[in-house]
Structure 1
Amino acid sequence: MTRALTLGLLALLFLPTTHAQQVTGLDGWELFLDPGHSQTENQGIYGYSEAEKVLRVSLALRDMLLDRTDIDTVYTSRTSDTQSVSLSQRTDRANALGADFFHSIHSNAGAPGTNNVLMLYGGWRQNGQTVEKTPEGGARMGDEYVDAQVEAMRLPTIGNYADRTFYQGFPDNHDNQFPYLFVNRTSAMASVLSESGFHTNPRQNTLNMNADWKRLEAQSFYWGILDWHGVPRSTHRIATGIVTDAESGRPINGATVTVDGQTYTTDTYESLFYRYSDDPDELANGFYYLEDVSAGTHTVTVEAEGYATATAEVTMRDTTFTFADVALVSTVPPVVVDARPEAGEDGFPITDPIRLTLSRPLDPATAGPAFSLVPTAGGDPVAGEVTFERNGFELVFTPDAALEPRTDYTLTLSASATTQNGSPLDGDGDGTGGDDFVLTFISSFPDVAAPRLVSGDPAPNARDAEIRPVVTVAFDEVVVPETLDGRVTLETLGGEAVPGEAIVSLAGVVGETPSPRTTVSFVPDADLAPGTSYRFAIEPGVEDRFGNASAARYAFTFGTGDGALVDVLLDDFEGTSIADDWWVPQQSGSTSGIVTDSTSVSASPLAYPLGGETSMRIDFGWAEGGDAKLIRECFGGCSPGHSFTEEATLRARVYGDGTGVLFRFAVDDGTSGIEVSPWTAVDWYGWKTVTWDLDADGFGTWIGNGAWDSPSSLRMESLQLGYDGEGPRFGAILVDDLAYLRAPGVAADGGPDAGAPLRVDAVWPNPARASAQVRVSLGAAASVTAEVFNAIGQRVAVLADGDAFGAGSHDLGIAAGDLAAGVYVVRVRADGEQAAVTFVVAR
């Protein structure tokens, strides 16, 4: 498209429209609405994008203002999903038109469990005060929008902020005395950017799909604009709410809501959700929205197939929403929707628990006694414990002892099992309750094989092992931990024993088909000798749960390297570092092809034996179908404060689950994009060290050019997981002690050139919670003093006290967990030079 044609098209978008008027007080005011992004950018969890949603909110708001008020003009930066409009085109056009106010409409992104409202106006900190860009008005509009949106969307808010303050903290003075966001910075009128909920939140994304939900959002902005102008809110009586299943809390599709003679049917697969899912049961929002309801008190009647009709009384409010959420009680008797073992299964493992998944939660008081397991040929019932998981939707029976091998069993859940409201079990699934659920199966052969080892790290005959290794091996089944006592050894080839500790753990228990393994990690008490050969061994007599014992000695040798490299820790995954420093996978637009409810990051108490108390657990679930499968786990917001050179080697400790999920590092070289390491298939169990020699190991393929264009200033960007269609779709790995290795005597990031002045980088992370660090770089050796002061000038910490620092970069740790929430200043002096940076401690 030529530039002239593009500008011509844009001109058409901003033509004013005149409609009937009811509310006065906006005459002469011109509003520029900017639905953020373009086309289908920023996909939500279920494939409905931020760009599509905010466009329709903008168009609905425009029509409300033009139809109901005497507003002079409402412009909008785009009117369809086909247009692609740049940031500069948006603000350039608003400035050329001379609009009075610029509102950029967005939704937010984050963890699936996160959802809130946020407003950002153009502003910064100066002399301890917040300064709003001129002309002012965005801050006040943000306040009105927050109040209106919190009420309409029934979400919490994290506030209304000056944009530079939100992104860069609360110093006395920001280095850049202008707005942070482009649209706030370059628009020549009062402005605000709204973040209305999270399109990465499962509940919110399905609500966003509904056309009337977007009208609800627009209505809240409309009332906020009237409040900003000091104009009384116009009367619009709106009955709205969510219809849910009383037992599961899940929104109900196809529910009919009647109020004051008006009827609304909640979305269904056939009416809406087929556009975003191939599964008729995956999506639901239960949302209804009825406008122009008459004044007074009305009965809300809700009906849905398979549920008892429910009613509620509501008294309509004139100038805000009238909410009436209704929970329906199912009339469909509970059925067993999944069973492990399956009916007729031949070879159900004799040590596995039995699981029955129900369509409705059962009352434990009735369901526990209703369960029985007996040999089909006769005999006593199998003793065991019945428990309930997933809020009563899953019954689990755990036998006290292994089942008899190669035996026919009959499992029964009798009709005496009921829901909390007394609905009896529909055992045969014919739609009528009151009959037993029965299945038969045959148990597996007994285990007669002794446990054997299937993987190890270091690899047998390796010659470059670390001088302080954690030697890890995995058995092919669960073994009795006590039988390992005294049988795990590490020694020199001359027979000299290495003192240390053997740690036993269970691995491979996550996934579609759990395959438990026992891992053994031997941790030496001290460094091994460099350049020396060692033998690891497990003596005979290790037993599995059936008493099968290993009869042979398992042993392998490996050699240590020279131990010359220095490791520089990037993250130890302790304390709150995971929440502070790492995005959840759904925050990255590059993450794709996942089952969002099964994909997350969290802290795990199973840590690398030399790595503290916790590690980072990455749970993954890969969606079926042909979409690209990638989890991008961003470090430090994908722009951390560490840097290194191409001579470094990245290293991570990875605890494998045996699924074969793909793992790689991603590094930002600041010029050509992001380079990635070749994929490593995590086909092992237990701890293993994964490395990427940046200079020698080559590159994988992603969005870089396969070369280091800025080899002296590389930054850790993310960890990534992938799926090649092989192996289980669900699982988890652990990552600990992320670091890079460098030659001794080399500055962490090369440091400034000789003779360069003192440089103090921004505190990272910021805001800080448990810990933070600040990097001090010197062009020459100097005596350094570094102190932390609170907002009233009191010294609260000393990081360096006249210490002699060499030329290069030095990372100083800040114990933020010892500080109260607030704003702090780090002041650094070095041989007559001085510099300061600010940071925020959050709780």
Structure 2
Amino acid sequence: ERKLRNRGFLRLEAKALLQSFLKYYGQEPPSTGALAGIISDMDTGAPLAHTSVRVMPLDTTLATDGYGNGLYVLADLSPGLYEVSAVDSLHEPASDTVSVRRGEFDFLDFRLVPVTPPVVQVAYPQDGAENVPVQTSLAFRFSRPMDPLSVEQGLTLDPPVRGRWKWSDDSRQVVFTPRTRFAFDTEYLLTLTDACTDRYGHPLDGDGDGQPGGNLRIRFHTASLDTARPEVIDFSPAREDTGVVSGQILWVLFNKRLDSTAINDDAVLVLSHRGIRLPVSVQYTEQVIDSARGLLGGRLAVLFLRNLERGMGYKVAVMKSLRDLSGNELENYFRWNFYASSVPFYPVTLDDFAADTLAWSLMVEGDSSFVNPDSTALELAHGVACGDSVYGRLRYRFEVPGSVLLIRREKPAVWLPEKVARGEILMLAVNGDGSRNTVRFVFRDADGEEFSRGEPLDWRGWKTVKVTVGDTLIPGPGGNGRADGDSLLFVGLRLEQTGGPAGEIGLDNLVLLARSPATVVLWHDRERTDRAPVEFKLAPNWPNPFRSATEIKFWVGPGAVGREGVLEILNLLGQQVATLWRGQATEGWHRFTWDGRDGSGQDLPSGIYFARLTVGGQVQIGRLVLLR
């Protein structure tokens, strides 16, 4: 009915009826075309009445009707290119060009942006809210699509809280979720400043005066800690964390000590995105959660017994059957999600601390009297470790405040692979002692020593300490805070006395998460050849790169004569594709030709391959490039 009141719409219908008759009788279409469109509000989608429409170069002005259609119609236009502008005092003007065709109906709609500033329509929590759960999320709904970056930068919380943002509904709605939780019994001031803008650059009307600008302030108070029941007060990885890697230890901290008899491997449930349960090992320790009042809490360390699937999501549920020493159970299940890293990492175990002897030594920075030698030692120990029952146990006692104990890899030192890719991760499991002393990774580059950012030992039980190669470094002796040069040498750890004077920590599973599978092959080669004198030499192949064939030669010394050996070709995944020689080694030079085929005689594709020579358990490796 509303459309029938619009004369332009009626003319459009009449023209459509005329053209259908002309087409039916095989007649030429009219020499003119038609242009129509609907003008609506960007925020609400409602049609706009009496909006001025100007068409150039005709210099014709018309208006949308007042019947709620938002419709404008030009039923007879000569074919050609036109510029159409829509102007309304309550909206930003808009214009566009359209090509009108003979005998056709062309359409050009406009959605006009209101000149009024955006506002927050709904906010949670509301101003003055009390007893807000510490696990809550902040939520806002805006009157129009916002610029997400401006909102994320324009929101402040006092005290500060780190978290993640999730936008929806075409950037009209956002949820801010703390990485772990808000603090208990704390008043927060949330401020959305006028730096927040909509998608079109209009500042937020935060104070509700109808004008752009002004801050929106919300004060809320979180709930107090329930001392009658055990409650989760911290956990890792954080909610929605997207960088979790295989081997990383998950942990959960409680406000009270737990009944250890109620804890087993079923206390924490981890489900994959397909609903498959991951096998885990759950370990329990007690930890100081308030040193001023001497309060102890319970801590669960959860070790994954299966690798995570790259980029996939996982759900964690802490069972509510857990109870404190008085028999009080958790009120509800505690749940959160995380995601395995989507980056393709290839793990290289540098030290699992399961060998007969430790490849580490202790040194004191400065005067040796700074550390008590009788109470300081690094040794292999048996007990609850990560994956086996053996780990490295470090007992220490500082005699002088601020002292530093160096835990160094013995020679030959461990080199991270040449031209190490930024983003590779060095990871170590540490059984903390709650001393609040600081542990750091130590590297050496072309300039000197560089340190990773410190990790305070404020926990008890196993936890993963990791550093991303290329992250912000702290300059050590001769260093400059940057990873310079083609190689980075990992030389050990620093234990800095920033807390208690004495303690005991555990070390296990030092792992490099490499970015290339070739690193795995090269690393295992280097680890093996470091253990014994070299009795043979694999020479570079020639030519390299090659197309049809390349010669691979190696030399065997007197000490390797009679040992079993094999010369193999591996692909980038470390898989064997061909065997060139197998037998007992004889002294002198040996030459073999590889024609770029696998063991069945099939041509292999272009790419990088490796020649791996093994003699008497020792390995050397060379890099080959095949170009087809």
Q: TM-score, normalised by structure 1?
A: 0.36
Larger proportion of helix: 1
Q: Which has the larger radius of gyration?
A: 2
Larger proportion of strand: 2
